[in-house]
Amino acid sequence: MSGQLRRLFGGGLAVAMLAVTFAACGSDEKDAAPPAEVVLERAAETTVPFSVATAGEVVLDITTEAPGVSWGTVGSESAVVSMFVDGNYTTDLVIPASFAIRRSLALGSLTAGEHALRLQFAADRSPQGSTQAKLSRFAFRTITPGDSHYAAARNAPVLYGRTTPNPALLAGTPATGPYQNALTDSPLVAFYSETETAISGHRLLTYSMIWSNEDGGTSTPALMAQWGRTTDIEWTYRVEVDAAGNAVPGSATVQGPDHVDTPFTGKVEGTHPVLQTCTLNNNICNQTDGQMRFSLAVGDPLDPVNQAREHVMDENPWTYWVMAQEVNREGKVTEAPEASSTEQIADPRTYLYLVLRKTTSKPNTDNAWIGVSVGVRLSGNPTTFRSNQVYPAWSLERDSPAQTAIALPPGTVAEDIASIQATRVVGKGYDTGASVQIDSIEQAFFLDPDGLPQESFLFTPAKATLTAGSPTATLFRRTGGAS
């Protein structure tokens, strides 16, 4: 593992082997003693006592690693630790790597006072190649009613893992049954966004999840073209809350199978709805029969007007590494895929990841829509490398800041890019006549040799209007570069 990887994930931190019992911190106990490191051998368990100073929604921030584990290695994909708060099964934690990763888990609504967190190496759901899990830098914090994020925390859903049979098991992914999320399509990070409603003081909270991949639905090359990643990011649960942060009865919905908005009719634990992933493309059902449970803290809200959803991945760079490991393990990566391939992509480290801000003058519909394809020219190379390859339907349809990825020759660096263009594309149906206003390239970056996002090398307010008569505009041109 490189030094950069250690710095990004905290792998270079020297954590002392202390006793398991420690003084945990509540929302007003920032000067608590440093926590311990817990090392769990296979099938072992231990209990960590902690205290909560003020009642509220408790979050555990924790650093995880599992020696010998790699999400890209069949048979050693992960180590799973099950967590129980005061004897109640709270969450599973899938540890996908031998290097340190910081995670945030929601432990639920707890009263002030003493509590116990039982940690169990879940041998029944961990691949046989995993033998040890290390947990360190425990930090307990309480989100109280006075906190601006309290309504989001107290209404956040709990998600049970998928048990859906996988009739066409992917190469390198023998994942079916109740523990399949320990091997495939694992929930990685949860987040939420909020918008005002027509009623003063009310807000609409939308909760989303980032899964490591999707075993059904959009093909891998189309994911890279349309979304700029092979993770699956879906909203799971949506609810209106009043000024006091209480859910408005009858307002809750889930994203059901076939992406249909479905009324939420499932169980509630206190104020937390209980959901389950129930399709191969990670849509949601109200009924639960799962044996893996995920309660991930939702963190700060995403601003969907100014931030692409992939911004959450940027804030958790290890998710790009997991993404690349899974598609490699499942045989979806080849050295030089055909532009027409609907199954194979190139090494994710050879792609340019680019976020575009644009506005379409007329609403797109399911039957007819106008999209944008991004083209990249390299110095001394006559080829235009296109984000949508040869498929109009793989162009960028959405108008929020939208990420795409463009496959470039191995070894390409930022300085090789001579120009970047945007082209108006009839993505589906007939030409609606809509124009597309391009406002900016928000960021552009490559993954480094470790599979982690490098710093963005480009932001440009590239104002351009794409029309049927003038469909292409240059958004960036390096001085002296090819057009």
The helix (run of H) or strand (run of E) holding residue 319 is: helix 318-329
Given a cut of 90, whether residue 122 has pLDDT beyond it is yes
List the structure tokens of 341: 């391939």
Give the pLDDT score at 273.
98
Provide the 10 A C-beta neighbour count for residue 92: 26
Give the pLDDT score at 36.
81
What share of the chain in percent tops pLDDT 70? 90
Tens digits of residue pLDDT in 16-51 = 222 333 333 333 444 444 458 999 999 999 999 999
Mean pLDDT of 452-471: 96
Give CA–CA dist 125/455, Å, rounded: 36
Tens digits of residue pLDDT in 239-271 = 999 999 999 999 999 999 999 999 999 999 999
Give the pLDDT score at 3.
43
Tens digits of residue pLDDT in 69-106 = 999 999 999 999 999 999 999 999 999 999 999 999 99
List the structure tokens of 453: 């996002």
Residue with tokens 């108008």: 399
Mean pLDDT of 326-340: 95
Tens digits of residue pLDDT in 196-225 = 999 999 999 999 999 999 999 999 999 999
Given a cut of 80, whether residue 413 has pLDDT beyond it is yes
Give the pLDDT score at 480.
60
Ordered by where they begin, the domains of the chain are 3-143 (2.60.120.260), 150-315 (no CATH), 347-477 (2.60.60)
List the structure tokens of 132: 């040890």
Mean pLDDT for the chain overall: 91
Tens digits of residue pLDDT in 217-226 = 999 999 999 9
**Beta-sheet strand order (sheet of 45-52):** 45-52, 113-121, 79-85, 88-95
The helix (run of H) or strand (run of E) holding residue 445 is: strand 436-445
Mean pLDDT of 444-469: 96
Q: SS3 for 66?
A: coil
CA distances from 102 to 95, 162, 286, 308 (A): 10, 24, 30, 22
Tens digits of residue pLDDT in 357-401 = 999 999 999 999 999 999 999 999 999 999 999 999 999 999 989
Give the pLDDT score at 164.
85
What share of the chain in percent tops pLDDT 90? 87
How many whole angstroms from its chain centre is CA 184? 14
Which of 272-276, 288-292, 376-380 is the least confident region? 288-292
